[in-house]
């Protein structure tokens, strides 16, 4: 299946606008947030214009329609990632909240009324992460270790080739390990990690596995069972959907045992002044009014990606990636962080330009209508490990073209000329 | 072209040849400030000197990693402020902050701000204002600490 990029681009109204004094927008910041197709924008509008009501508690026709839209989205998400059923799908506000949900639930299991043993942490227990994690899959575990006295350990990266150093796996993953949390596809390096291999090692010692799939789910078919995950999180806004909604998938038996995270309306079964009992999952973890219209928007995004075909998206991105890696490598003074070839790699390309700070690179690119990200991309420890203060990142999605890759390369050369480093 | 209004020649000169750079002794206070969005950082030292009614800024020395705007800004800051009484230096800092918040609308006073008027263009780029202010905020913080340490306890 091939992808007709000219036709795809017509679905994204924002790609028609100009920036910085009339220049066409070249949007290479999709790893940060993706643009939205008309189909998703229409789904949001239609929800608000036709079906808006609160869910689960409104005893009227609009309430039924809104509930159907919201719960229908849950079913769509479940099918999209190969969940056993929709009760394994928890809506959150983003993936950060999804990861925090697991971390705080484990913290709650460890405090006061002791929870189930496999979620309980204390001194001597270990959580394993990696050096290439986004702060979202790093800070919540630091905080959990501080609260419980558990120890945080991590896989290091091998260097600029951007691989995890698996030689330490036998030491890192041991009988003290309670949870291994790792990123499927790095938001900086593009590296796709061997999640299954690490998950199997974790399960062999009885540890749980949480996968940050924020950068993979938008770009390729992801199946939770194939990956061997116990929890998997992603966010709508990076996959053509609206902001404000994310997904945490968890295996049903785990979600049933886990203590709640946020307390409030809709997550309860019974409430007394002294104590409460809780709804079964997923509602146990969905306190308060949820992002209902956004769920309808996410459903539209899944439909959209389904119609285009994630295999076609992936194939298109591989072409862009191959061209971009070649073009960038051909520029003197440009060094790419992460794998140098498209194999086993996503479309986020971070790079250094000798003698020009990333902020200055991105400023010159912006002047030419090219939107990229500059900084440490919420992966400060990774940059430190590679000896890089910050980097510039270009990231591609289904609507990008080979011409835009060429414009990026030319923009980088202009930045070098402007700052007189060539 | 817009780029030249942002990156004025004065800014690029200070970036390529920063003044007063490097950490020096003696000093009364040292601070380290970072820009959490990009990891840019500055370590800055202030030395004050008693001169009658109020202290003057005897020296500013700094070590900085960062973009052209943040590097040039620290250089311009040290040029402007070294040798000034603290109250006058704080007033200059106040005017610079106002300029940065002006969204390109302010008419900066060159008599007060000197080379720093070149940063007027930066105020049109919200993402870069923090870069321009990094050294200034570090200096203000270090000066406050130096003044506090100076008070009889």
Per the document, the length of chain A is: 422
| Residues A223 and A105 occupy one common structural domain | yes
**A37 located within any domain:** no
| Residues A170 and A211 occupy one common structural domain | yes
CA R_g for chain A:
22
**More confident position, A182 or A113:** A182
Whether B15 contacts B31, CB under 8 Å: no
What pLDDT sits at residue B153? 47
- What is the complex's ipTM, to 2 decimals? 0.89
Identified catalytic residue from A224, A245, A258, A378? A378
| Residues A360 and A409 occupy one common structural domain | yes
Separation in Å, CA A180 to CA A152, A207, A208, A343 = 10, 7, 6, 25
Q: Does the pLDDT of residue B53 top 90, yes or no? A: no
Question: Taking CB atoms and an 8 Å limit, are A363 and B66 in contact across chains?
Answer: no
Whether A184 contacts A363, CB under 8 Å: no
Separation in Å, CA B114 to CA A324, B62, B122 = 44, 20, 16
Query: Which residues in chain B belong to E strands, given as ranges?
Result: 29-35, 40-49, 56-65
* A378 noted as active-site residue: yes
β-pairing, A126-130 vs A151-155, is parallel
User: pLDDT of A309-326, one tens digit each?
Assistant: 999 999 999 999 999 999
User: pLDDT of A134-149, one tens digit each?
Assistant: 999 999 999 999 999 9
User: pLDDT of A222-277, one tens digit each?
Assistant: 999 999 999 999 999 999 999 999 999 999 999 999 999 999 988 999 999 999 99
| Residues A159 and A201 occupy one common structural domain | yes
Question: Taking CB atoms and an 8 Å limit, are B38 and A374 in contact across chains?
Answer: yes
DSSP H helical ranges for A258-371: 292-308, 310-329, 358-367
Contacts of B69 in chain A (CB under 8 A): 359-360
| Tokens 């606008």 found at | A17
What pLDDT sits at residue B2? 80
Closest CB to B39: pick one of A360, A364, A380. Answer: A380
Q: Could you tell me how many CB contacts below 8 A there are between chain A and chain B?
A: 46
What pLDDT sits at residue A59? 86
| Residues A9 and A99 occupy one common structural domain | no
| Residues A401 and A269 occupy one common structural domain | no
If pLDDT is split at 50, 70 and 90, which confidence band does A211 have? very high
Of chain A, the end-to-end C-alpha distance in Å amounts to 42
| Residues A287 and A369 occupy one common structural domain | no
| Residues A325 and A375 occupy one common structural domain | yes
Looking at A305, A335, A360, which one is the last position of a domain? A305
What CATH number does the domain containing B131 carry? 3.90.1010.10
Cα–Cα distance between A141 and A143 in angstroms, integer? 5
User: pLDDT of A81-140, one tens digit each?
Assistant: 999 999 999 999 999 999 999 999 999 999 876 689 999 999 999 999 999 999 999 999
Closest CB to A358: pick one of B1, B12, B38. Answer: B38
**B151 located within any domain:** no
Cα–Cα distance between A24 and B102 in angstroms, integer? 28
Contacts of B4 in chain A (CB under 8 A): none
If pLDDT is split at 50, 70 and 90, which confidence band does B107 have? confident
Average of per-residue pLDDT across B13-38: 93
Looking at A305, A334, A362, which one is the last position of a domain? A305
Cα–Cα distance between A80 and A78 in angstroms, integer? 5
Closest-CA distance of chain A to residue B35, Å: 10
| Residues A335 and A216 occupy one common structural domain | no
Question: Taking CB atoms and an 8 Å limit, are A357 and B67 in contact across chains?
Answer: yes
Largest Cα–Cα separation, chain B = 55
Lowest mean pLDDT segment, chosen from A198-202, A205-209, B40-44, B51-55: B51-55
Residue A133 domain boundaries:
43-305
Q: Does the pLDDT of residue B1 top 70, yes or no? A: no
Quick one: how far is CA A394 from the chain centroid?
A: 16
Looking at A270, A305, A340, which one is the last position of a domain? A305
Q: What string of DSSP letters covers A394-421?
A: EE--TT--HHHHHHHHHHHHHHHHHTT-
If pLDDT is split at 50, 70 and 90, which confidence band does A2 have? confident
**B31 located within any domain:** yes
Q: Six-digit token pair at A128?
A: 């394993």
Q: Does the pLDDT of residue B56 top 80, yes or no? A: yes
Q: What is the mean pLDDT of chain A?
A: 96
**B152 located within any domain:** no
User: pLDDT of B66-95, one tens digit each?
Assistant: 999 999 999 999 999 999 999 999 999 999
What CATH number does the domain containing A406 carry? 3.90.1150.10
Cβ atoms within 10 A of the Cβ of A22, count?
A: 7
Query: CA geometry: angle at B30 spanning B29 and B31, to 5°?
Result: 125
Question: Taking CB atoms and an 8 Å limit, are A360 and B3 in contact across chains?
Answer: no
Cα–Cα distance between B95 and B113 in angstroms, integer? 8
**A196 located within any domain:** yes
- Cis amide leading into A282 (omega within 30): yes
Whether A199 contacts A177, CB under 8 Å: no
| Residues A301 and A314 occupy one common structural domain | no
| Residues A284 and A397 occupy one common structural domain | no
Whether B69 contacts B122, CB under 8 Å: yes
Counted domains in chain B: 1
β-pairing, A334-337 vs A276-278, is unpaired
Interface of B with A (CB under 8 A): 1-3, 6-7, 12, 37-40, 65-69, 125, 128, 131
Cα–Cα distance between A407 and A291 in angstroms, integer? 38
Of chain B, the end-to-end C-alpha distance in Å amounts to 55
Whether A73 contacts A295, CB under 8 Å: yes
Residues 6+ apart with CB under 8 A from A315: A1, A2, A3
Whether B121 contacts B5, CB under 8 Å: yes
What pLDDT sits at residue A276? 94
**B153 located within any domain:** no
Cα–Cα distance between A406 and A368 in angstroms, integer? 12
Largest Cα–Cα separation, chain A = 72
Chain B contact for A174, CB < 8 A?
Answer: no
Contacts of A360 in chain B (CB under 8 A): 7, 67-69
The DSSP letter of residue A86 is: G
| Residues A392 and A256 occupy one common structural domain | no
Counted domains in chain A: 2
Q: What is the mean pLDDT of chain B?
A: 92
Chain B contact for A289, CB < 8 A?
Answer: no
**A337 located within any domain:** yes
Per the document, the length of chain B is: 153
Chain B contact for A376, CB < 8 A?
Answer: yes
Contacts of B7 in chain A (CB under 8 A): 360, 363, 418
Q: Helix (H, G, I), strand (E, B), or coil: what is residue A251? A: coil
Whether A238 contacts A34, CB under 8 Å: yes
Whether A276 contacts A259, CB under 8 Å: no
Residue B37 domain boundaries:
2-146
What CATH number does the domain containing A166 carry? 3.40.640.10
Q: At what angle do helices B126-150 and B86-100 cross, to 10 degrees?
A: 160
**A346 located within any domain:** yes
Question: Taking CB atoms and an 8 Å limit, are A389 and B65 in contact across chains?
Answer: yes
**A347 located within any domain:** yes
Question: Taking CB atoms and an 8 Å limit, are B38 and A21 in contact across chains?
Answer: no
**A35 located within any domain:** no
Question: Taking CB atoms and an 8 Å limit, are B67 and A360 in contact across chains?
Answer: yes
């Amino acid at each position: 299946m091939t992808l007709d990029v000219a036709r795809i681009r017509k679905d994204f109204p924002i790609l028609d606008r100009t920036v910085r004094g009339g220049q066409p927008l070249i949007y290479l910041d999709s790893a940060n947030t993706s643009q939205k197709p008309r189909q998703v924008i229409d789904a949001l509008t239609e929800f608000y214009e036709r079906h808006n009501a609160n869910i689960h508690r409104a005893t009227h026709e609009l309430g039924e329609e809104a509930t159907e839209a919201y719960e229908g989205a849950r079913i769509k998400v479940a099918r999209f990632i190969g969940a056993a059923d929709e009760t394994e799908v928890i809506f959150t506000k983003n993936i950060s909240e999804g990861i925090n949900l697991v971390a705080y639930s484990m913290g709650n299991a460890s405090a006061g009324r002791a929870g189930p043993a496999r979620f309980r942490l204390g001194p001597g227990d270990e959580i394993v992460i990696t050096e290439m994690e986004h702060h979202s899959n790093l800070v919540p575990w630091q905080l959990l270790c501080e609260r419980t006295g558990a120890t945080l350990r991590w896989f290091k990266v091998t260097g600029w080739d951007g691989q995890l150093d698996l030689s330490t796996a036998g030491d890192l993953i041991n009988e003290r390990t309670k949870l291994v949390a790792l990123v499927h596809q790095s938001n900086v390096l593009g590296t796709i990690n061997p999640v299954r291999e690490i998950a199997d090692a974790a399960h062999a010692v009885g540890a749980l596995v949480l996968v940050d799939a924020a950068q993979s789910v938008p770009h390729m078919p992801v199946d939770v069972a194939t990956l061997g995950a116990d929890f998997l999180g992603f966010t709508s806004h990076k996959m053509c959907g609206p902001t404000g909604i994310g997904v945490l998938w968890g295996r049903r038996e785990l979600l049933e045992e886990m203590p709640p995270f946020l307390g409030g309306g809709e997550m309860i079964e019974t409430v007394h002044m002294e104590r409460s009992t809780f709804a079964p999952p997923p509602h146990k973890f969905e306190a308060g009014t949820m992002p209902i219209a956004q769920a309808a928007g996410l459903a539209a995004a899944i439909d959209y990606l389904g119609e285009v075909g994630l295999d076609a998206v992936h194939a298109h991105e591989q072409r862009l990636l191959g061209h971009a890696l070649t073009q960038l490598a051909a520029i003197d003074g440009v060094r790419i962080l992460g794998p140098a070839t498209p194999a086993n790699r996503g479309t986020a390309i971070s790079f250094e330009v000798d003698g020009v700070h990333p902020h200055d690179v991105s400023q010159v690119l912006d002047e030419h209508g090219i939107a990229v990200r500059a900084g440490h991309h919420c992966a400060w420890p990774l940059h430190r490990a590679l000896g890089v203060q910050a980097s510039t990142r270009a990231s591609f999605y289904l609507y990008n073209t080979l011409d835009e890759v060429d414009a990026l390369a030319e923009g980088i050369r202009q930045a070098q000329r402007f700052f007189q480093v060539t | 072209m817009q780029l030249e209004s942002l990156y004025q020649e004065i800014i690029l000169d200070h970036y390529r040849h920063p003044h007063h750079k490097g950490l020096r002794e003696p000093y009364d206070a040292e601070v380290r400030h970072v820009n959490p969005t990009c990891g840019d950082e500055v370590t800055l030292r202030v030395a004050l000197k008693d001169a009658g009614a109020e202290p003057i800024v005897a020296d500013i020395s700094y070590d900085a990693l960062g973009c052209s705007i943040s590097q040039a800004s620290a250089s311009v800051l040290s040029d402007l402020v070294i040798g000034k009484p603290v109250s006058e230096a704080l007033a200059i800092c106040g005017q610079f902050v106002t300029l940065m918040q002006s969204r390109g609308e302010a008419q900066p006073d060159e008599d007060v701000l000197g080379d720093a008027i070149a940063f007027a263009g930066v105020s049109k780029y919200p993402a870069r204002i923090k870069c321009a202010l990094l050294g200034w905020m570090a200096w203000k913080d270090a000066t406050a600490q130096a003044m506090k340490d100076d008070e009889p306890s």
